[in-house]
Structure formats: structure tokens, C-alpha cells
Amino acid sequence: MADNRRISTGIPGLDRVTKGGFLSRHTYVLVGAPGTGKTILSLQWLLEGRKMGDKGVFISMVEEPAGLEQNVSGFGWNLDQIEVVDFSVAATSVVTDYDEYHVFPPSEVEYTPVWERICDIIEEKRPQRLVIDSITQLRQFSTDAYQFRRHLFSLLRFLVRLNCTTLLSCEPSAITQDSAISSAVDGIIYLEKEISPERLIDLRSIHIQKFRGSDFLAGTHPMRITSKGIEVFPHVIEPCKDVKLTGEMVMSNIPKLDELLGGGLESGTVTIFTGPSGTGKSTLAVHFLAQAARAGKQAALYAFEETKESVLRRSENFGMQLDPLLENGSLRIRYINPLQLYPDELLAMIRDETAGGGRDVVALDSLRGYHMAMDQFGSTVAHIQNLMHYLKSQRATILLVNETENITGDLRMTEAGISFLADNILLLRYVERRGKLARVIGCMKKRHGLSQSELREVTLSQTGFKIGEKLENLVGILSGVPTIREKNPGTKQRR
């Protein structure tokens, strides 16, 4: 009867990728170049087993136990909890003959002392969890490819009889050159490390190529080696759920702005504040967050360009006192250096902080900062869309700050190609008026409900935002070169 029990990997995130962990009595191979984390993952798995009461054995074909312990000392791990058996070159050089050969026939005895000794040790120790690091080195103890395959298949059958769950490690060249490894094992897990396209950071990832007897999360999943070991951030494709809007409004409590928006922003929608630098996009987004927090909602700002202290100083300059909201927990501001986080790592962080309605209103500032840094990790549009799908599934109201390059001239909603995600788009723009720069605001899109189509002038002061009357006497505002329209249509004056 098949044993379908799951063996926890002990690697944060990897159990989700494997949909529950490794299957008992199965053998998996970790494939990766030197430095990708195969040994660390294996030891972390064995130490997790000790917590569960499983006996673990680590057979090292490469490192001596003293060197192995020194290399993982930075994680604070105590390897006394597992048995490390030394099969490195120094140890195997003194191996001669054995009197008994209960796995391989005597005709092969001169080539099999190491294989036989491994089987003897496994039979003696009877571990529930076994690691052999690595079979790339173990291959040297077979005369040719044919004998290696015979030895490997015999060893794996032997492990199944002993109810042992096993991790083998090997380098990519070994599994490429010999297909027997791929066919013999129950699972193949690749660990990779590469330099980002702009050569700024290392990109570590893990993906499963084969996982016999179970489904798994396909695709590449970013991973990180931390001071506590390996952590995996599953790349989960968030479903696009059809969430019914409640009709509740998130309001600015600036009367003329809420009037412009047809009463406010519908709860559960995505709003993009777009425009060139300095028009007040970030300040307006924080204003909405503060008003939502004062109304009893939970609000959060994820800032990619400004530190928390900078956001607080800027907000205070415009009359917003955020400290009381931070102290009571209704508002959270988190500064994120995107180069230190994978997109899926950021999503995991936001998922932890917003799951189950933990945050009602969430702002990201800005999409341009996100795009410029996260571009190292692939398509930023796909990652942003995935993030939006998750937040919308949590019924969160989402505010996105987007910076456009042009101060005046040709009008563009966004430069990252994400306007299709927005339910609402608020445009803030500079115009030249009577020899001075002025700011204007307009609602360019409102998917649910009606909004006013006119543009209004915006002023920023120590008392906050002030929205003026609609600019009825100006044309050409969107081009950045407004013209005063006189009562007599035959004359126009450029200002």
C-alpha cells in the first residue's frame, strides 16, 4: 500500500510550492551549480525532521564534517542533532574491501566498496530522512555509466524498502549527461543563481521540474538565503475574482474634490493618481489614506521612493498630522527599497499584512519607482496586475501613484502601460497661467458612477489642498499651454 504521508520541508514557502511537502519514502534530487544552496536546503530539511522526531543522516561526499559545521555556523544551527557521515575524498581514500556484499554481486566487488558502505550505514542507522551530497561525486565510484545506473537504481530500491525519504544533490551537468538520474528519482528540484540584467543584484530561484505522485506550483519561485536559512516566496497567480462593490465611498472630505469625483472613490476600486513630479499626487494619496483612517478604516502606504520620515515631514508641511494615526495603528507607512525585495516577496509581505481585511485602503507610491527597480525581476506589469488582483480579492481600495515624464505637452495617462487596471484616473497637471506655473486636477476616468468632466485649479498650502472653481475660460489646458477664451470668439489672447 502506498504511503502518501507528507514530510514538511522546513523551508518557509517551499511547502506551499510542493503543496504540502515531500512525499514519504520518495527520493528527490536537488540540481544546482555550486553556491545555489543545495547543502543549506538539505540540512535545513534534516533539522526540521529532528523537530518532528525524525532521525536524519547526512552523507557528505564533498565536505568533511568540521568544514560543513563551520560553513553553516552563521545560521546558528547545531549539527549535533543529525548524524553527519564523512565520505569525502580524505575518508574514502582508505576504503579497501568488505566481507559482505548484500546489495551488489561479488563480480562487481572491486568497484563497489563505497556503494556498499553507504548501504551498510543506512541499514545500521535506519534514518527517516537521508541526504547524500552529492551523487556527482558518487558517480566516480562506478566504472562506467552502465554500472552507475545499476548502482543508483539498486540504492533507490534499497531506500524504499527501509521507508527512507531521501534528498540527493547533483550539478546540472550530471543530470544533463545521464538521463538515468531523472528517470530514477521521484522528483527534480532546480536551484538557480544568476545576475540581474543590469548586473545589480543576484537573483536566486527554485523551480520543480518533476514531482511524482503530487501536483505542485509550476513556474519559477524566488528564494533568499537569510541568517536563518533558505526562504522561498511562491509565485502564486492570484485569481481575478468578481468582487461585488458595496457602494461605500472613500472620501477626501475636500468638498469640491468629492463633488468632482461624484461623491468620492468607490470602496474596492483601483485609482491612479497620475501626473508629473511635484503636482501633489503623493500628498493627495496620503490625504485619502489619512481621511480613511480617521473614518475608522485601516490604511497602509507602501513607499518606494520616500522614507517614512520624509512622508511624515511632507505631510506635516501641508497640514496633515499623521502621528496619532500611526500610534493607534489605523495607518501604517512602510518604506521599501525595491532592490532588496523580489516582487513575490513584496506580495507575500502585503498578503501577510492585509489578509482577512487587515487593511481597507492601500496605496503604492510610486509605480515608476516600483517599475524602475522591479524591472530586474521580469515583467513589472504582470507583477502589478497580480498584486492588484490579490488586493481586490481582499476588498481593499487601492491607490496607485504614477509619475509621468512630460511636464507639459503631449498627454499620457501612464508610462508603464497599466491604465487598464484602473477604475478611476485622477490627472494632476501643470499649466502656465499669467507667467506662473499652476496645478490643475481632473477626473479622466470613472468606471463606476458619474464624475464631473471639468478641470479645476489646485493649490497646496500649510492648510492642505484647496480645489478651486472649474476653469471655464481656459482652453488647451491638457496641452500645458492654456489660452484665455474671450467672450468674443473672434479674438484670443495667449497668456
To the nearest whole percent, how much of the chain has pLDDT over 70?
Answer: 87
Give the confidence band of 99 by pLDDT, cuts at 50, 70, 90.
very low
Write down the pLDDT at residue 405: 66
C-alpha cell at 224: 533568499
Give how far Cα 380 sits from Cα of 276, 303, 377, Å. Answer: 20, 16, 8
Q: How many CB atoms lie within 10 A of CB 461?
A: 10
Distance, CA of 217 to CA of 367 (rounded, Å): 28
What is the secondary structure of 59-109 as a DSSP string? EESSS-HHHHHHHTGGGT--GGGSEEEE-SHHHHTT----S--SSS-GGGG
pLDDT tens digit sequence for 469-482: 888 777 776 665 66
Q: How far apart are the first and last CA of the chain?
A: 87
Q: List phi, psi (to 5°) of 230.
A: -90, 140
Write down the pLDDT at residue 175: 87
pLDDT at 210 over 80: yes
The H or E element spanning position 120 is: helix 113-125
pLDDT at 310 over 60: yes
Give the confidence band of 415 by pLDDT, cuts at 50, 70, 90.
low
Helix axes 367-374, 380-393, angle to 10 degrees: 130
To the nearest whole percent, how much of the chain has pLDDT over 90?
Answer: 55
Give the confidence band of 28 by pLDDT, cuts at 50, 70, 90.
very high
Give how far Cα 345 sits from Cα of 230, 342, 373, Å. Answer: 13, 5, 14
Tally of CA atoms within 13 A in the half-sphere of 242 that contains its CB? 0
Write down the pLDDT at residue 247: 87
pLDDT tens digit sequence for 108-146: 444 457 888 899 999 999 999 999 998 888 887 778 888
Strand, helix or coil for residue 167: strand
Name residues whose C-beta falls within 8 Å of residue 226's C-beta, 6 or more positions apart in sequence. Answer: none
Q: List phi, psi (to 5°) of 375.
A: -60, -20
pLDDT at 26 over 90: yes
Distance, CA of 174 to CA of 256 (rounded, Å): 69
Write down the pLDDT at residue 390: 93
Tally of CA atoms within 13 A in the half-sphere of 35 that contains its CB? 5
Residues 51-58: what's their mean pLDDT? 95
Helix axes 145-161, 113-125, angle to 10 degrees: 10
Residues 445-451: what's their mean pLDDT? 91
Q: How many CB atoms lie within 10 A of CB 218?
A: 13
Partner residues linked to 86 by β-bridges? 60
Give how far Cα 302 sits from Cα of 117, 201, 229, 321, 334, Å. Answer: 56, 22, 27, 18, 5
Distance, CA of 343 to CA of 64 (rounded, Å): 38
Give the confidence band of 42 by pLDDT, cuts at 50, 70, 90.
very high
User: Is residue 266 exposed (0-12), middle (13-18) or buried (19+ Cβ within 10 Å)?
Assistant: buried
For CA atoms 299, 300, 306, 308, the dihedral sign is: positive
State if pTM tops 0.85.
no
Distance, CA of 299 to CA of 360 (rounded, Å): 6
Distance, CA of 53 to CA of 111 (rounded, Å): 36
pLDDT tens digit sequence for 366-395: 888 788 767 767 778 888 999 999 999 999
pLDDT at 43 over 50: yes
What's the gap between Cα 274 and its chain centre? 26
Tally of CA atoms within 13 A in the half-sphere of 407 that contains its CB? 7
Q: Among residues 170, 195, 191, 197, which one has the least CA distance to residue 181? A: 170
Sketch out the chain's domains with CATH numbers: 6-232 (3.40.50.300), 249-494 (3.40.50.300)
Q: Among residues 272, 228, 275, 241, which one has the least CA distance to residue 403? A: 275
Q: What angle do CA 219, 223, 227 make, to 5 degrees?
A: 170
pLDDT at 262 over 80: yes
Residues 172-176: what's their mean pLDDT? 88
Strand, helix or coil for residue 265: strand
pLDDT at 352 over 50: yes
- Give the mean pLDDT of the chain: 86
> Going by DSSP bridges, is the β-strand pair 397-403/361-365 parallel, antiparallel, or unpaired?
parallel
Give how far Cα 243 sits from Cα of 124, 239, 266, 418, Å. Answer: 58, 11, 13, 20
Distance, CA of 358 to CA of 250 (rounded, Å): 17
Strand, helix or coil for residue 131: strand
C-alpha cell at 241: 475574482
Contact criterion met (CB below 8 Å) for 346 and 329:
no
Distance, CA of 244 to CA of 264 (rounded, Å): 18
Residues 187-197: what's their mean pLDDT? 91
Write down the pLDDT at residue 95: 41
Give the confidence band of 414 by pLDDT, cuts at 50, 70, 90.
low
pLDDT at 101 over 70: no
pLDDT at 493 over 50: no
